[in-house]
């Protein structure tokens, strides 16, 4: 196993034409899965396909076009991550738009949606505009903000949803907090349904999770820790599905982690309700035993669940009940994790490990590589109606070149993230990002000698 060095390169001037030849094109949205080439011109995709630049027995690219030989590696749409905590503004000690952007591009992520749990909260047009303007200036991963569903994400009074939408918010959520008041949630859903806006819920009944620090069960009892029952998630899922049925809103559940929640969502979808959901790698790649001997890097929200729950999440990814995979990137500074388990902050970073952990589903023969890439490209993009996740002529040249087989070992100290609290520290994985391109510019390139 190797832990390759990584480097991020700054944005360049407006790019010219670049030909990516000898690439294994994988584009689930367009059903493309074969060796071919892609041409970018400026910031957009100009052409793509298996016959592009074919000449005789090799490749023939006209003069004046930069050539990148992909050596048969996978070239896909840039990854789309719909659940990222940034830190900026207000919590820059955890992460900034610059540090998160570098980590995201190192993980092949070219588009991400950031949670509103900043300081100040993204419940005002000026904060939406600040995030968008700052991200554009950096020129790294494209950042779209969620708008807060309630003022201050306190769950009591609706935020100015209409104005936030006009300013660029793609959907509405209280982020890391559940919107627990049923009356407030019903009001929010009624308003959102009128304007066809999506609400995203962190499904967790707070009165059942108060003082809890890990999944309730035998291991929790043996460790002497307070438990968070799986029912806390399922109860909120069931309640909100009933409210969604009443109001007709588009409702999305974030980081689903339990077998019962999956069953409830599956039945609601079969009944024709506009319910969608995502999960994150910890919930299909780890279980509660990863907490080990009070390992605070594995203290997450929702908590790591039982092996039965983990298997149910995998099954839901296979059958399509779960629509997408998000990193659920939640950076915490060292002081917040280097404390006793009960006092440690919840959360783990995930931008640099999104690809290899998603590919585990393919390596373990649950799904194909094509279907795995769909879960982090076109499917999350479609959920949030984002112009991303496809190798389509005319769309932005947002690309990820990766080696699906390359093995390495997760080392928290070598991740690009400013905070390094990964629950996967020390895990052998397969799948390495080689190059990330945003608007035709290479913003990350693997450097094995770094």
Prediction pTM value: 0.95
Q: Which domains does the chain have, with CATH numbers?
A: 6-76+396-446 (2.30.40.10), 77-383 (3.20.20.140)
CA separation for the pair 191, 178 (Å, rounded): 18
pLDDT at 416: 86
pLDDT at 443: 96
* Average pLDDT rounded to a whole number, residues 126-151: 93
**pLDDT tens-place string over residues 198-223:** 999 999 999 999 999 999 999 999 99
Q: What's the whole-number average pLDDT of the chain?
A: 94
229 three-state secondary structure: coil
Residue 9, pLDDT > 50, answer no
Strand order from edge to edge, sheet including 79-84 = 79-84, 109-114, 142-145
pLDDT at 14: 75
pLDDT at 2: 37
pLDDT at 93: 87
pLDDT at 450: 41
* pLDDT band, very low/low/confident/very high, at 430 (cuts 50, 70, 90): very high
Residue 266 — left, alpha, or beta (φ > 0 → left; ψ -120 to 50 → alpha)? alpha
Work out the percent of the chain whose per-residue pLDDT is above 90: 88
Residue tagged active-site, from 123, 240, 328, 439: 328
* Average pLDDT rounded to a whole number, residues 107-122: 96
pLDDT at 55: 79
* Average pLDDT rounded to a whole number, residues 329-346: 93
Contact 40, 78 (CB under 8 A): no
pLDDT at 13: 66
Residue 257, pLDDT > 50, answer yes
Q: Which comes out higher in pLDDT, residue 71 or 13?
A: 71
Residue 254, pLDDT > 90, answer yes
**pLDDT tens-place string over residues 18-44:** 999 999 999 999 999 999 999 999 999
Residue 4, pLDDT > 50, answer no
* Average pLDDT rounded to a whole number, residues 279-292: 98
**pLDDT tens-place string over residues 365-408:** 999 999 999 999 999 999 999 999 999 999 999 999 999 999 99
Which residue, 268, 253, 301, is CA-closest to 82?
A: 253
Q: Which helix (H) or strand (E) is 21 found in, with range?
A: strand 17-27
pLDDT at 91: 87
Work out the percent of the chain whose per-residue pLDDT is above 70: 96
* Average pLDDT rounded to a whole number, residues 106-113: 97
Let me know if 81 is a catalytic residue. Answer: no
Q: Which comes out higher in pLDDT, residue 11 or 158?
A: 158
Question: Most confidently modeled of 117-121, 323-327, 336-340, 411-415?
Answer: 323-327
* pLDDT band, very low/low/confident/very high, at 448 (cuts 50, 70, 90): low
Residue 99, pLDDT > 80, answer yes
* Average pLDDT rounded to a whole number, residues 260-279: 98
What is the secondary structure of 301-314 as a DSSP string? Answer: SSPP--HHHHHHHH
């Amino acid at each position: 196993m190797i832990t390759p060095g990584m480097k991020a390169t700054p944005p360049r001037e407006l790019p010219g034409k670049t030909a990516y030849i000898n690439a294994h094109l994988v584009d689930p949205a367009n059903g493309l899965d074969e060796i071919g080439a892609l041409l970018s011109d400026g910031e957009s995709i100009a052409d793509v396909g298996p016959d592009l630049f074919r000449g005789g027995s090799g490749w023939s690219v006209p003069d004046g076009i930069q050539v990148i030989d992909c050596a048969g590696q996978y070239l896909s749409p840039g990854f789309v991550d719909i659940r990222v905590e940034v830190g900026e503004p207000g919590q820059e000690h955890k992460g900034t738009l610059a540090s998160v952007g570098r980590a995201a591009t190192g993980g092949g992520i070219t588009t991400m949606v950031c949670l509103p749990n900043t300081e100040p909260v993204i419940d005002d047009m000026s904060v939406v505009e600040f995030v968008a303007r700052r991200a554009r200036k950096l020129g790294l991963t494209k950042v779209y903000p969620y708008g807060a569903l309630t003022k201050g994400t306190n769950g009591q009074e609706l935020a100015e949803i209409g104005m936030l939408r006009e300013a660029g918010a793609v959907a509405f959520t209280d982020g890391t907090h559940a919107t627990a008041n049923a009356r407030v949630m019903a009001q929010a859903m009624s308003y959102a349904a009128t304007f066809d806006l999506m609400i995203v819920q962190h499904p967790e009944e707070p009165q059942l999770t108060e003082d809890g620090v890990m999944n309730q069960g035998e291991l929790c009892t043996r460790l002497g820790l307070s438990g968070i029952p799986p029912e806390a998630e399922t109860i909120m899922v069931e309640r909100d599905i009933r409210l969604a049925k009443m109001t007709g809103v588009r409702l999305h559940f974030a980081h689903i982690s339990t077998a019962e929640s999956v069953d409830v969502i599956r039945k609601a979808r079969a009944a024709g309700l506009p319910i969608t959901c995502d999960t994150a790698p910890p919930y299909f790649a780890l279980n509660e035993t990863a907490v080990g001997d009070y390992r605070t890097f594995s203290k997450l929200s929702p908590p790591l669940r039982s092996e039965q729950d983990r298997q149910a999440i995998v099954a839901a990814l296979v059958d399509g009940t779960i629509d997408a995979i998000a990193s659920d990137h939640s950076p915490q500074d060292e002081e917040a994790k280097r404390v006793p388990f009960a006092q440690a902050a919840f959360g783990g970073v995930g931008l640099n490990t999104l690809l290899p952990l998603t590919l585990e589903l393919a390596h373990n023969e649950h799904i194909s590589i094509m279907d795995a890439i769909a879960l982090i490209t076109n499917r999350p993009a479609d959920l949030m109606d984002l112009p991303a996740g496809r190798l389509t002529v005319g769309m932005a040249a947002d690309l990820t070149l990766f080696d699906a087989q390359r093995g390495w070992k997760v080392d928290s100290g070598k991740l690009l993230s400013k905070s390094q609290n990964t629950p996967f520290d020390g895990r052998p994985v397969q799948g390495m990002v080689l190059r990330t391109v945003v608007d035709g510019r290479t913003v990350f390139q693997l450097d094995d000698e770094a």
